[in-house]
Amino acid sequence: MLRHTLPIGRIMGIPIDVDFSWFLVFGLLTWILAVSYYPQSLKGAPSAELWLMGVVTAILFFFSILLHELAHSAAALHYKIPVHRITLFIFGGVSQIAQDPSSATAEFVVTIVGPLASFALAGVFFLLQAPLSGVAPALAVVKYLTMINGMLGLFNLIPGFPLDGGRIFRAVVWGWIGDFRRATLIAANVGRFFGFFFIMTGVWMALRGFLFNGLWTAFIGWFLESAAGSQVQQQLVQNLLVGHKVSEAIGNEAPRVAAETSLQTIVDQEILRHGRRSFLVQDNGQILGLLTLHSIKAVPPSDWPTTTTQEAMIPLAQLSTTSPEAELWTALEKMGRNGINQMPVLNGSEFVGMLSRDDVVHYLQLLQQLQTR
Ligand SMILES: [Zn+2]
């Protein structure tokens, strides 16, 4: 997979990445501050000083966002919810907190500490204003950081999923109605509403002549609407699949081939003639592993006649697997997370069949058709 992020270190054991889009924001913010914002508050200041102020502000803003995310992560770790990584990107940051939260209270606390950290930062920068009142450039910088952290806290409190406010809203609804899935759907739909509201407000502002702010507002609205929209879609799929087991969706089994067959034979007789793309490698009825087009291509064609399927396959032990009793939704999520299209289904160590994304999609279509009748 292509990486768009730059690792910058670890805090509390959590890897911190910077998405490349962040450098764009960093440059844009520095530039706007240096040529437009600070010249208004510090008339006549030399441009080198203005640019230095812009850079310092952008760096401190970066640390402000990092602190906001670290607050989420620290609270998650307190509730024993693992945090995979923190990525700082164009709209701020995302903490990749594993899985769905365990309780409404945990979700509420883990989420609200982010905006609270932003407000606390705004408070700290506000308190710095008095001692720095004699140093005009430093005063302007802390004034800006007071305002921007306050705005960051407020923006994140907008009750639209996936913003912090949407999560807080979901936690409250969840605690109230006691149904996590329905609460997610409600919060995501409220998020879509706020997205549309921002788009309309942005268009209205643009028509009234505030072109830049209007377009920016509409852009944020579009981002909110699409994020919440995909959340709604995902939740609808999840609602359909909930309670259904992997065993119900297992599809046609991939053809079995013997462990000692050469790759050349497989290519000639199975792939080119029948268009098959993946095979189960077996020996004495025992499934040993999975042979895919990908694993065949990893072997140079000149070695195909002398390489056996067993040598080229991915051994069962190295594959992500699922069990017949596992939730179908969980299995689908696992395939998505690991970037794979199929998984062997094992009952203990006994091979039951293969589950592919296509199988799940087929099953989903059947469920959908039955539901609309
Ligand atoms: Zn947050």
Are both 88 and 11 inside the same structural domain?
Answer: yes
Residue that finishes a domain, picked among 197, 215, 242: 242
Q: Determine the Cα–Cα distance for residues 168 and 114; give it in Å rounded to an integer.
A: 11
Q: Enumerate residues 6+ apart whose C-beta is below 8 A from 79.
A: 101, 102, 106, 109, 110
Q: At residue 373, does pLDDT exceed 70?
A: no
165 exposure class (CB count in 10 Å sphere: 0-12, 13-18, 19+)? buried
How many domains does the structure of the chain reveal? Answer: 3
Put simply, whether the predicted model's pTM sits higher than 0.85 gets the answer no
Q: 141 with 194, same domain?
A: no
User: What's the CA gap between 38 and 45, in Å, rounded?
Assistant: 9
> How far apart are the CA of 114 and the centre of ligand 1, in A?
5
> Cα(127) to centroid of ligand 1, in Å?
23
Q: Is 129 part of any domain? A: yes
Distance 108 CA to ligand 1 centre (A): 12
Residue 162 Cα, ligand 1 centroid: separation in angstroms? 10
Q: Which of 195, 47, 172 minimizes the C-alpha distance to 112?
A: 172
Domain membership flag for residue 172: no
The predicted model gives 63-68 an average pLDDT of: 90
Long-range CB contact pairs, 331-339, < 8 A, 24+: 331/246, 331/355, 331/360, 332/241, 332/357, 332/360, 339/1
Residue 342 inside a domain? The answer is: yes
- Whether residues 151 and 64 fall in one domain: yes
Comparing 116 with 95, the larger pLDDT belongs to 116
Q: Write out the residue range of the structural domain in which residue 234 sits.
A: 178-242
Domain-terminating residue out of 98, 125, 157: 157
Flag whether 165 is in a domain.
Answer: no
Pair (340, 298) in one structural domain: yes
pLDDT digits (tens, 9 = 90+) for 281-331: 888 878 888 888 888 888 898 988 988 988 888 888 788 888 888 888 888
**pLDDT band, residue 114 (cuts 50/70/90):** very high
238 assigned to some structural domain: yes
Q: How far is the CA of 95 from the centre of ligand 1 (A)?
A: 8
9 shares a domain with 153? yes
DSSP letter string, 176-209: HH--HHHHHHHHHHHHHHHHHHHHHHHHHHHHTT
Contacts 24+ apart (CB under 8 A), 312-320: 312/263, 313/281, 313/288, 313/289, 314/289, 314/290, 315/288, 315/289, 316/287, 316/288, 316/289, 316/290, 316/344, 316/346, 316/351, 318/289, 319/289, 319/290, 319/343, 319/344
Indicate whether 122 and 87 sit together in one domain.
Answer: yes
How confident is the model over 227-244, as pLDDT tens digits? Answer: 788 777 777 777 788 788
- Gap from CA of 68 to ligand 1 centroid (Å): 6
| 222 and 294 inside one domain | no
Distance of CA 355 from the midpoint of ligand 1 (Å): 36
**Pair 310, 223 in one domain:** no
pLDDT, residue 1, reads 39
Distances (CA, A) of 76 to 87, 96, 109, 305, 333: 16, 10, 9, 54, 21
Assess if residue 166 is contained within a domain: no
Average pLDDT, the chain: 84
Please write the tens of the pLDDT for every residue from 132-142. Answer: 888 888 888 99
- Do residue 252 and residue 273 come from a single domain? yes
Looking at the domain assignment, is residue 113 inside a domain?
Answer: yes
76 Cα to the center of ligand 1, angstroms: 12
